[in-house]
């Protein structure tokens, strides 16, 4: 343990210094996620940044999708004792005003991607219901997630061409989650699993001119839900939030487990009319571009004391069934309202309602 700048704040939750968390579980993490998109969907970016105190790792990634190419730059380093240091390589995140305004920067680098972006909240932050799931006798998930809708300003530069980012034309969302969740490669604890893997995950934060919505469900193969959340929010300055029950009717692109045109979700408040939302997918952002599931640069993986990397994916050359985890950037409609957002999905293993019977059978 060591005294760090964070220890000067009256925010301690344990008898230890801030570099030491309450549990020795290897899977403890603390992570930012951001995304942003021009309101016509032409450009999309996402950011991931995480600390893993019991693994001694800090990692981050910034990825931009434009004209069918998904470019990325990523970095990983030894965490060290100072958990207020939120940067690695070219990438940094700065909290300018808690729960209202944050800054993401990507310094110029050899991969031709740079950015200077400010996120400003459109909606109240939402604390989703706590995540808790066990795998046999081992806790697989025990964490909190906060989700928030926002708008962006600043610039993104790709190979010398600068794209202006203005609040009136750029929306997005972010989350901040922390707790226990599998990171840093396969967890070696416990007996081998007795059944094939199964995981069904949906998450859809959407932006309309006068509304923001959140939909998420996590379900077992028979459709039983182990987590769900729905919110309908009015943007600032009104800044209201109403909980809603959620349901989904998804279609899938042939040969994939990615949602297709006509997919629909419904949010039903206790004392108001249901809000039915239909999706028109534009393209699928590969979550491996910001570290999710990457065999070398996955979250919490030890890459080295101070490493940086970059590259690109050509979406037309990617195999859908090798990329189960995507965010589908979509135009959305609800009655006369038109908006945009993402539908994040992972379906691994059987899921009876939509006809998936095996570990990896496509539609």
Under 8 Å between Cβ of 64 and 313: no
Separation between Cα atoms, residue 127 and residue 158, nearest integer Å: 35
pLDDT of residue 252: 98
* Residue 136 per-residue DSSP state: T
* Strand-pair category, 161-165 with 170-181: unpaired
Q: Which pair of tokens denotes residue 75?
A: 């970095």
* Strand-pair category, 91-97 with 240-249: unpaired
pLDDT of residue 184: 82
Separation between Cα atoms, residue 216 and residue 244, nearest integer Å: 11
Pick the CATH number of 28-178+195-354 from 2.120.10.30, 2.60.40.60, 2.40.370.10, 1.10.3720.10: 2.40.370.10
Under 8 Å between Cβ of 326 and 286: yes
Rounding to the nearest 10 degrees, give the CA dihedral for residues 120, 122, 124, 130. -80
Listed in sequence order, the residues at least 6 apart from 123 whose beta carbon sits closer than 8 Å to its beta carbon are 148, 149, 150, 212, 233, 234, 235, 236, 239, 241
pLDDT of residue 188: 73
Instruction: Render each residue's pLDDT in the chain as its tens digit; 363 residues.
Output: 899 999 999 999 999 999 999 999 999 999 999 999 999 999 999 999 999 999 999 999 999 999 999 999 999 999 999 999 999 999 999 999 999 999 999 999 999 999 999 999 999 999 999 999 988 788 889 999 999 999 999 999 999 999 999 999 999 999 999 999 988 877 777 677 667 789 999 999 999 999 999 999 999 999 999 999 999 999 999 999 999 999 999 999 999 999 999 999 999 999 999 999 999 999 999 999 999 999 999 999 999 999 999 999 999 999 999 999 999 999 999 999 999 999 999 999 999 999 999 999 998
Distances (CA, A) of 322 to 66, 158, 185, 240, 288: 21, 27, 18, 40, 10
pLDDT of residue 334: 98
Burial class (CB in 10 A: 0-12, 13-18, 19+), 75: buried
pLDDT of residue 185: 79
Under 8 Å between Cβ of 112 and 105: no
pLDDT of residue 193: 67
> Whole-prediction pTM value?
0.96
């Amino acid at each position: 343990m060591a005294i760090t700048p964070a220890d000067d704040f009256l925010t301690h939750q344990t008898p230890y210094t801030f570099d030491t968390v309450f549990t020795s579980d290897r899977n403890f993490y603390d992570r930012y996620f951001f995304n942003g998109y021009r309101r016509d969907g032409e450009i999309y970016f996402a950011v991931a940044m995480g600390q893993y105190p019991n693994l001694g790792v800090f990692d981050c990634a910034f990825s931009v999708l434009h004209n069918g190419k998904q470019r990325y730059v990523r970095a990983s380093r030894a965490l060290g004792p100072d958990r207020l240091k939120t940067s690695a390589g070219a990438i940094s995140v700065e909290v300018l005003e808690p729960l209202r305004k944050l800054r993401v920067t990507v310094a110029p680098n050899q991969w031709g991607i740079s950015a200077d972006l400010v996120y400003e909240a459109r909606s109240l932050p939402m604390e989703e219901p706590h995540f808790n799931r066990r795998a046999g006798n081992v806790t697989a998930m025990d964490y909190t997630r906060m989700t928030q809708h926002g708008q962006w300003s600043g610039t993104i530069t790709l190979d010398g061409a600068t794209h202006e980012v203005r609040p009136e034309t750029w929306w997005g969302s972010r989350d901040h989650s922390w707790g226990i969740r599998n990171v840093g490669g396969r967890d070696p604890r416990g007996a081998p699993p007795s059944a094939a893997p199964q995981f069904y995950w949906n998450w859809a934060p959407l932006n309309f001119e006068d509304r923001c919505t959140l939909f998420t469900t996590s379900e077992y193969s028979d459709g039983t839900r182990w987590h769900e959340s729905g919110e309908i929010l009015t943007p600032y300055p009104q800044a209201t939030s109403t909980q809603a029950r959620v349901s989904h009717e998804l279609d899938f692109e042939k040969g994939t487990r990615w949602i297709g045109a006509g997919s629909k979700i419904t949010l039903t408040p206790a004392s108001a009319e249901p809000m039915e939302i239909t999706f028109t997918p534009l393209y699928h952002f590969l979550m491996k571009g910001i570290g999710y599931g990457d065999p070398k640069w996955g979250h919490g993986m030890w890459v080295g004391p101070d490493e940086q990397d970059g590259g690109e994916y050509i979406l037309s050359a990617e195999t859908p069934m090798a990329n189960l985890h995507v965010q589908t950037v979509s135009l959305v409609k609800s009655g006369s309202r038109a908006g945009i957002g993402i539908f994040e999905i992972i379906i691994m293993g059987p899921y009876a309602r939509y006809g998936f019977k095996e570990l990896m059978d496509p539609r």
